[in-house]
């Protein structure tokens, strides 16, 4: 019971570890937006958004082309090394099933028996080559091709081929050969030989295999993790395992025959000597991204293609995205062939036939496919499509460039992708270039406006400085004038705080105030209420908003004539205070009072004059003479 629980927990962990994550992702910090990944993606699963490339997970077929072409190492795929190390710590036996292309990858290792031992040194209990699974599957294809009954098939050994047809040509799903791939056939033989609780790790050149193993629900075919050759090299380095640190070791049984040719073109067909004669054979063998796309399209559109198609996305598994980058294709091809020739010399043919017979009858080779993953772009309305073409500047047939720089065959298919949200306008270099020119022109205009605005601001600032200087000079002049006026003046704000006072005002208030002005120049900021009792006149003008009031007040045994007037309604008021006992003030006051007597008496005199005639004239002369005499005496 405990063992079963452990098996379930381990299965759940390694399935969950990346089932809910994107297998391939793009590091935005490293992405330079060179569009290499956009152009190479066969399913148009990469779009540029907010200045960065991002993967549309639902459309991705996990072919790994974006990882291969990215010069900035911005594209990453799920790393399974930690999962594998956890598996190796488990109590169950762990088997590594190795793709035959490994001999082409490790050209730095002189003998295949060395890397078998190196893999075991990591901690694997068994190391098996998938070539035996290839042999088993090849026999199934031989039967299918001989009894096809007029229906032609695609081989289903390459996960990207399966995903692409499921997503974008679902009408061809029935043309996918319903046969499991060699890695699952190998996993089944391992479990039958060494026990169902054996854990299986697939060492592969294929990134898509990491996603494919999650689709399997049959525990007898279950593969627990997938290591790429790149990850295997990293484990060798981490554990310090080299060819010179291990002894030779052969692959564990069952041993395959010509299935080791699987990673190169037509390899699987040669495993069972399927007829390849051009006149009589009914099989097209092709590989590589461009051929992959073309043959599927033509097979759908042309009923005259009456042939089976052995199809791989990569240029043979020897060039899979999980291999070291910039590998030499034909060198790897040669290394695989040399390895097969060497190994076949020691093959026990009778034992191989016996094993083939045994497992051919015990394994269920039936495979099913996902029929609910249609990712074909929906046809947009003519208005929406034309709107996008107009925005792209492709509203006329002669303007349809179809340069392919965006990754799409034509501007129209690109516009359809935009309408479906699979692409953005910025992915068109021509559009981006035109927008950039428009932006440059706009920026030039803005810079011109800014330059003119700057000059206007400089002139305005100069005028403001001149006005400020004039105002300051005027203020100084007014202040100087107020200081020289013999009359006491004071200006206060709405809180009765002194804004200005002159020397006459300070002297009028007495010695204590003069002493205070030594500390507080001109008494600025002091409260008028603390200085004079007639502050209420100022408060009244502030409160009522009247223009002015005037009256006489006694202050320190003096009679003062106080005139208070509004400078800024309800905000600022000023006051002029005259000491009525001052000689100058008295003289002015006598003259003013005499004038007032004249004005008051003239009215009476004019009325009496009507009756008295010349008497009024004499009275007026006498009064004028008095005034004149007084003024003359004052001048003297």
Examine the pLDDT at 9 and tell me if it is beyond 80.
Answer: no
Of the listed ranges 43-52, 395-404, 529-538, the one predicted with least confidence: 395-404
**Alpha carbon distances (Å) from 335 to 141, 271, 491:** 26, 18, 105
Of the listed ranges 12-16, 58-62, 467-471, the one predicted with least confidence: 12-16
Q: Are 327 and 105 in contact, with CB atoms under 8 Å apart?
A: yes
| Interval 302-313 mean pLDDT | 88
Confidence of residue 356 (pLDDT cuts 50, 70, 90): very high
Examine the pLDDT at 260 and tell me if it is beyond 50.
Answer: yes
Examine the pLDDT at 292 and tell me if it is beyond 70.
Answer: yes
Q: Are 401 and 392 in contact, with CB atoms under 8 Å apart?
A: no
| Interval 67-88 mean pLDDT | 94
Question: What DSSP letter does each residue of 92-150 carry, written as one string?
Answer: S-EEEEE-TTHHHH-TT-S-HHHHHHHHHHHT-SEEEETHHHHHHHHHHHHHHHHT-TT
| Interval 464-487 mean pLDDT | 70
Question: What SS3 class is residue 333?
Answer: helix
Confidence of residue 628 (pLDDT cuts 50, 70, 90): low
| Interval 189-202 mean pLDDT | 94
Of the listed ranges 268-282, 297-311, 500-514, the one predicted with least confidence: 268-282
Confidence of residue 4 (pLDDT cuts 50, 70, 90): very low
pLDDT score for 291: 92
Q: Express each pLDDT in 555-575 by its tens digit.
A: 877 888 888 888 888 888 988
Q: Which residue has the tokens 């809180």?
A: 495
| Interval 490-508 mean pLDDT | 87
Q: How many beta carbons lie within 10 A of that of residue 104, not counting itself? A: 29
Please tell me what DSSP assigns to residue 550: E
Examine the pLDDT at 413 and tell me if it is beyond 70.
Answer: yes
pLDDT score for 612: 47
Q: Is the peptide bond before 254 cis (omega within 30 degrees of 0)?
A: yes
pLDDT score for 57: 92
Give, to the nearest 10 degrees, the angle between helix 583-612 and helix 614-635: 170
Examine the pLDDT at 185 and tell me if it is beyond 50.
Answer: yes
| Interval 435-442 mean pLDDT | 78
pLDDT score for 429: 74
- The per-residue pLDDT of the chain, averaged, comes to 83
Examine the pLDDT at 617 and tell me if it is beyond 60.
Answer: no
pLDDT score for 320: 92
**Alpha carbon distances (Å) from 117 to 123, 126, 247, 620:** 10, 10, 6, 144
Of the listed ranges 55-69, 363-377, 607-621, the one predicted with least confidence: 607-621
Q: Are 127 and 5 in contact, with CB atoms under 8 Å apart?
A: no
Token pair listed for 110: 């002189």
Examine the pLDDT at 10 and tell me if it is beyond 70.
Answer: no
Confidence of residue 169 (pLDDT cuts 50, 70, 90): very high
How open is the CA angle 620-626-629, to the nearest 5 degrees?
A: 135
Examine the pLDDT at 1 and tell me if it is beyond 60.
Answer: no
């Amino acid at each position: 019971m405990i063992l079963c629980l452990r098996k379930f927990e381990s299965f759940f962990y390694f399935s969950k570890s990346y089932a809910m994550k994107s297998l391939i992702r793009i590091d935005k910090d490293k992405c330079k937006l060179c569009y290499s990944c956009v152009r190479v993606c066969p399913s148009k699963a990469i779009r540029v958004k907010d200045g960065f490339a991002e993967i549309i997970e639902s459309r991705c077929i996990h072919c790994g082309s974006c990882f291969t072409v990215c010069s900035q190492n911005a594209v990453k795929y799920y790393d399974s090394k930690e999962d594998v190390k956890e598996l190796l710590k488990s109590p169950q036996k762990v088997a590594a099933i190795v793709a035959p292309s490994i001999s082409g990858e490790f050209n730095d290792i002189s003998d295949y028996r060395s890397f078998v031992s190196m893999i075991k040194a990591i901690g694997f209990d068994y190391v098996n080559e998938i070539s035996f699974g290839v042999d088993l599957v090849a026999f199934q294809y031989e039967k299918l091709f001989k009894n096809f009954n007029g229906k032609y098939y695609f081989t289903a050994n390459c996960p990207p081929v399966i995903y692409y047809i499921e997503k974008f040509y679902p009408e061809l799903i029935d043309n996918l050969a319903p046969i499991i791939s060699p890695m699952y056939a190998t996993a089944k033989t391992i479990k039958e030989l060494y026990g169902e609780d054996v854990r299986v790790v697939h060492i592969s050149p294929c990134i898509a295999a990491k996603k494919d193993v999650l689709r399997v629900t049959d525990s007898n075919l279950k593969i627990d993790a997938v290591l790429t050759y790149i990850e295997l090299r990293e484990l060798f380095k981490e554990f310090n395992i080299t060819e010179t640190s291990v002894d030779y070791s052969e692959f564990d049984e069952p041993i395959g025959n010509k299935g080791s040719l699987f990673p190169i073109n037509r390899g699987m067909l040669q495993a069972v000597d399927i007829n390849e004669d051009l006149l009589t054979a009914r099989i097209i063998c092709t590989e590589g991204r461009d051929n992959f796309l073309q043959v599927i399209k033509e097979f759908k559109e042309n009923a005259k293609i009456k042939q089976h198609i052995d199809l791989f996305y990569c240029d043979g598994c020897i060039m899979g995205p999980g291999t070291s980058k910039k590998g030499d294709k034909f060198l790897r091809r040669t290394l695989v062939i040399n390895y097969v020739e060497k190994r076949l010399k020691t093959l026990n043919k009778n034992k191989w036939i016996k094993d083939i017979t045994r497992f051919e009858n015990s394994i269920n080779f039936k495979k099913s496919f996902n029929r609910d993953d249609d990712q074909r772009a929906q046809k947009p309305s003519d208005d929406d499509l034309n709107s996008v073409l107009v925005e792209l500047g492709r509203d006329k047939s002669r303007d349809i460039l179809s340069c392919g720089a965006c990754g799409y065959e034509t501007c129209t298919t690109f516009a359809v992708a935009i309408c479906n949200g699979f692409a953005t306008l910025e992915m068109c270099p021509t559009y981006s270039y035109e927008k950039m020119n428009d932006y440059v022109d706009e920026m030039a205009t803005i810079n011109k406006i800014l330059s003119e605005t700057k000059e206007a601001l400089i002139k305005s600032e100069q005028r403001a400085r001149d006005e400020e200087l004039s105002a300051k000079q005027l203020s100084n002049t007014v202040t100087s004038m107020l200081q020289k006026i013999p009359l006491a003046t004071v200006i206060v704000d709405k809180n009765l705080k002194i804004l200005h006072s002159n020397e006459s005002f300070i002297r009028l208030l007495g010695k204590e105030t003069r002493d205070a002005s030594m500390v507080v120049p001109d008494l600025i900021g002091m409260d008028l209420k603390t200085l004079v009792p007639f502050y209420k006149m100022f408060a009244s003008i502030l409160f009522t908003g009247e223009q002015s009031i005037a009256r006489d007040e006694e202050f320190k045994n003096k009679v003062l004539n106080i005139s208070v007037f509004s400078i800024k309604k309800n905000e600022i008021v000023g006051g002029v205070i005259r000491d009525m006992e001052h000689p100058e003030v008295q003289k002015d006051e006598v003259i003013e009072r005499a004038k007032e007597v004249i004005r008051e008496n003239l009215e009476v005199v004019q009325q009496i004059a009507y009756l008295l005639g010349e008497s009024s004239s004499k009275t007026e002369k006498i009064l004028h003479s008095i005034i004149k005499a007084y003024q003359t005496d004052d001048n003297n």
